[in-house]
């Protein structure tokens, strides 16, 4: 087996495209395909389901991906000299807002408990983060959670910790200039089916929630984009408190209804078990005290 076969496989597992992976590896697609086939023959197991598009990892492929990542990391570290010891890596798929507001402080706490390590974060929407965790591309998933919105992960295969709390707040600028409609506020909402959009639908049904009409939809489902629409005076939106704490404290934004509590959860695959992952998991469990 050649080292480059492992790197080929990892690129393919990330891109899920033979043509794109071959381009990134600077070889023809036919040559790239032969190298992947050679790796599968060496292992004696199919790593890819080629009948789907984009290509998907088989169960054997998902299991081998973890091994390949560790081997490549150790080999790359060895190139810098036998005395250099590679730092372990925390790989996390996280919702956009959490990658900005929560992850940096959480990571600092983890490093305080387990020592030096590096990190890799994929910040994306909920469904892509879920798929990345299922396929084994990242060790952890960091997401919001609320009882009204199911998380499509098998609890027997994917366990979770509650590592924090946040809430959704309905906010607007003071003296909103945007037009009212029969006394209703203009609502700036997330894209259809987005995770925060689904939680917002529950928040909007709470007693005391402001009456609204739809004024704008963000198709990228990012809370950060809605925040700046609100600050520009286009209407109100339900935003995570952690994202707007400074603007509310300064009075640039005002709260116009009741907040809705959310959990911040960390998920991992029960099938992926390494000593370092267990250390991170234990440190994450110790680092959160549920509010009274």
What is the domain partition of the chain in residue ranges? 3-78, 89-165+264-286, 166-262
The whole-angstrom separation of Cα 222 and Cα 189 is: 10
| 17 burial via Cβ count (<10 Å: 0-12, 13-18, 19+) | middle
166-262 classified as CATH 3.40.190.10: yes
Claim: this prediction has a pTM higher than 0.85: no
**Would you say the CATH fold of 166-262 matches that of 89-165+264-286?**
yes
* Angle, vertex CA 25, rays to CA 24 and CA 29, nearest 5: 95
Question: Six-digit token pair at 95?
Answer: 């919702």
Q: Where in 77-211 does DSSP place strands (E)?
A: 89-95, 118-124, 140-145, 158-172, 185-189
Question: Six-digit token pair at 144?
Answer: 């919001």
Q: pLDDT (tens digit, 9 = 90+) per residue, 15-63?
A: 888 998 888 888 898 888 888 888 888 888 898 888 878 888 888 888 7
What is the CATH code for 89-165+264-286? 3.40.190.10
- 3-78: what fold? Arc Repressor Mutant, subunit A (1.10.10)
pLDDT at 292 over 60: no
Alpha-carbon distances, residue 122 vs 8, 72, 130, 264, 270 (angstroms):
20, 20, 11, 17, 20
Determine the pLDDT at residue 180. Answer: 87
Q: pLDDT-derived band of residue 291, with 50, 70 and 90 as boundaries? A: very low
Q: pLDDT (tens digit, 9 = 90+) per residue, 92-131?
A: 999 999 999 999 999 999 999 999 998 989 888 888 899 8
Q: pLDDT-derived band of residue 85, with 50, 70 and 90 as boundaries? A: low
């Amino acid at each position: 087996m050649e080292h480059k076969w492992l790197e080929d496989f990892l690129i393919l597992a990330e891109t899920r495209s033979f043509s794109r992976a071959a381009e990134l590896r600077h070889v023809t697609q036919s040559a790239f395909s032969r190298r992947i086939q050679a790796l599968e023959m060496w292992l004696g197991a199919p790593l890819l389901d080629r009948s789907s598009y984009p290509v998907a990892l088989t169960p054997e492929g998902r299991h081998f991906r973890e091994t390949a990542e560790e081997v490549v990391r150790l080999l790359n570290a060895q190139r810098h000299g036998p005395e250099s010891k590679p730092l372990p890596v925390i790989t996390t798929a996280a919702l956009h807002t959490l990658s900005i507001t929560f992850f940096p402080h959480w990571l600092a706490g983890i490093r305080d408990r387990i020592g030096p390590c590096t990190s890799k974060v994929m910040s994306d929407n909920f469904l892509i983060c879920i798929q990345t965790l299922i396929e084994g591309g990242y060790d952890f998933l960091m997401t919001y959670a609320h009882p009204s919105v199911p998380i499509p992960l098998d609890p027997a295969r994917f366990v979770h910790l509650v590592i924090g709390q946040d809430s959704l707040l309905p906010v607007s600028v003071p003296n909103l200039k945007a037009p009212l409609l029969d006394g209703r506020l203009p609502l700036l909402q997330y894209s259809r089916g987005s995770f925060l959009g689904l939680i917002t639908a529950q928040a909007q049904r709470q007693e005391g929630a402001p009456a609204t009409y739809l004024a704008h939809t963000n198709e990228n489902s990012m809370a950060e984009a809605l925040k700046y629409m609100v600050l520009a005076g286009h209407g109100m939106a339900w935003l995570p408190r952690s994202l707007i704490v400074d603007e509310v404290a300064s009075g640039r934004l005002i709260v116009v209804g009741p907040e809705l509590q959310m959990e911040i959860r960390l998920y991992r695959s029960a099938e992926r078990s390494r000593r370092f992952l267990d250390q991170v998991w234990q440190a994450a469990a110790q680092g959160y005290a549920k509010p009274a």
